[in-house]
């Protein structure tokens, strides 16, 4: 298939938009900006200000994007950066804003990365919105953890679908080396190739091309492992700290012990990911393995969504 695209190589991707400024969107925007791209980072206007945002004097319209950006910045600045990989002017290349006021910005970029909440209905609405302003040739990718690429692209034009794929970054996007690229049925091979080059050459990632199966490769395996760890922790009456001591440093993973990792991921996001495999699986054993853990449901219902909410399995002090 030959497609008409203005993007001939990885170097021609200069302007990007990231939609969703949560845990992943803010981190992806920071990483793209650090690689030299100009980035608009857009989110919906929140219903209310948090106490922290009120203290900072933010308005409702800029609260979410600005505060998320600030925390991404702090996380990045706080860690040692190899000098050759770190460009201190990265933040000046990011323009945060709310989606409704800045929709037209999506008509003026080379690559749009969708990183909104893991719900098919919401993502599909976002792609319809993107299509209403996107210029032909603009690449669109989604950071979904494992929703069906084919379902997300449904209803979009053939030209949109040719330029659409999954680019699944891992958390935190700055440090995790892997990106899963998942083509949907109509994604043009040239776009898969181009996205691979951008991720590898511009963003310093290792790429695997995965099939459009529930949760792709890494999350299918990783989420299963996390659910088993949760189940065994409860079965043996371990504390969260004990389970993390066993599944973290003792296994050579000082920073990614199970429950710390789940708090970083977001417990609501984890539930969406678990639901996705269970609802799309036709295998009874797999459906049982991906049942919703009651403890996880209780934490999410209580608003303990993880680090982004100030508390999850751990409480931030």
Residue 277 binds ligand NAD (CB under 6 A): no
Those residues whose C-beta lies under 8 Å from the C-beta of residue 16, and which sit 6 or more positions away, are 29, 32, 37, 38, 39, 40, 109, 110, 111, 112, 113
> Counting contacts by CB under 6 A, is residue 166 touching ligand NAD?
no
Out of 182, 191, 265, 267, which residue is the one contacting ligand NAD (CB under 6 A)? 265
Closest separation in Å from C-beta 147 to ligand NAD: 7
Both structure tokens of 134: 């996107």
Q: What does the DSSP 8-state code read for residue 311?
A: B
Q: Does 223 participate in binding ligand NAD (rule CB under 6 A)?
A: no
Cα three-residue angle 56-73-59, rounded to 5 degrees: 25
Closer CB to ligand NAD, residue 64 or residue 163? 64
Query: Does 67 engage in binding with ligand NAD (CB under 6 A)?
Result: no
Q: Pick from 74, 122, 250, 291: which binds ligand NAD (CB under 6 A)?
A: 122
Burial 280-307 (b: 16+ CB within 10 A, else e): bbeeeeeeebbeebeebeebbeeebbbb
| Candidate residues 5, 145, 162, 215; the one interacting with ligand NAD per rule CB under 6 A | 145
Give yes or no for residue 128 binding ligand NAD (CB under 6 A): no
Phi, psi at 285, each rounded to 5°? -65, -45
Question: Can residue 23 be called a binding residue for ligand NAD (CB under 6 A)?
Answer: yes
Smallest gap from Cβ 249 to ligand NAD, in A, equals: 21
Query: CB 303 → ligand NAD: shortest distance, Å?
Result: 13
Q: Is residue 310 at the binding interface for ligand NAD, with CB under 6 A as the rule?
A: no
262: which residues sit within 8 A by CB, 6+ positions away? 226, 270, 306, 312, 313
Edge-first strand listing for the sheet containing 206-209: 94-98, 38-43, 15-19, 111-114, 139-142, 164-169, 178-183, 206-209
Using CB under 6 A, which of the segments 1-9, 140-148, 195-203, 250-258 binds ligand NAD?
140-148
Cβ 178 to ligand NAD shortest distance, Å: 10
- Residues near ligand NAD (CB under 6 A) are 19-25, 43-44, 64, 99, 115-118, 122, 126, 143-145, 170-171, 265-266, 269, 308
């Amino acid at each position: 298939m030959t497609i008409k695209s203005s993007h001939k190589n990885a170097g021609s991707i200069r302007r990007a938009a990231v939609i969703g400024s949560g845990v992943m969107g803010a981190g992806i925007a920071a990483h793209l900006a650090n690689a030299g791209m100009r980035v608009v980072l857009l989110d919906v206007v929140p219903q209310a200000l948090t106490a922290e945002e009120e203290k900072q004097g933010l308005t409702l319209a800029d609260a979410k994007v600005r505060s998320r950006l600030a925390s991404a910045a702090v996380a990045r600045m706080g860690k040692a950066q190899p000098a050759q990989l770190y460009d201190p002017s990265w933040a000046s290349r990011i323009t945060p804003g709310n989606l409704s006021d800045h929709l037209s910005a999506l008509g003026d970029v080379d690559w749009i990365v969708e990183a909104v909440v893991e719900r098919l209905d919401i993502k599909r609405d976002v792609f319809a919105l993107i299509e209403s302003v996107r210029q032909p040739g603009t690449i669109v990718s989604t950071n979904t953890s494992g929703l069906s690429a084919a379902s997300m692209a449904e209803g979009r034009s053939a030209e949109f679908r040719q330029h659409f794929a999954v680019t699944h970054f891992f958390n935190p996007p700055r440090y995790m080396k892997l990106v899963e690229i998942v083509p949907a049925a109509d994604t043009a091979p040239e776009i898969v190739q181009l996205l691979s080059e951008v991720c590898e050459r511009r963003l310093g990632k290792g790429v695997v091309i995965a099939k459009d199966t529930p949760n792709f490769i890494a999350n299918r395996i990783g989420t299963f492992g996390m659910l088993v760890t949760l189940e065994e922790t409860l079965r043996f009456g371990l504390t969260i700290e004990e389970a993390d001591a066993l599944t973290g440093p003792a296994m050579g993973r000082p920073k990614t012990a199970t429950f710390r990792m789940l708090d970083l991921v977001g417990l609501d996001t984890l539930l969406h990911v678990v639901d996705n495999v269970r609802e799309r699986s036709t295998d009874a054993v797999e459906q049982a393995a991906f049942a919703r853990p009651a403890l996880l449901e209780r934490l999410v219902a209580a608003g303990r969504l993880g680090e982004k909410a100030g508390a999850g399995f751990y409480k931030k002090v």
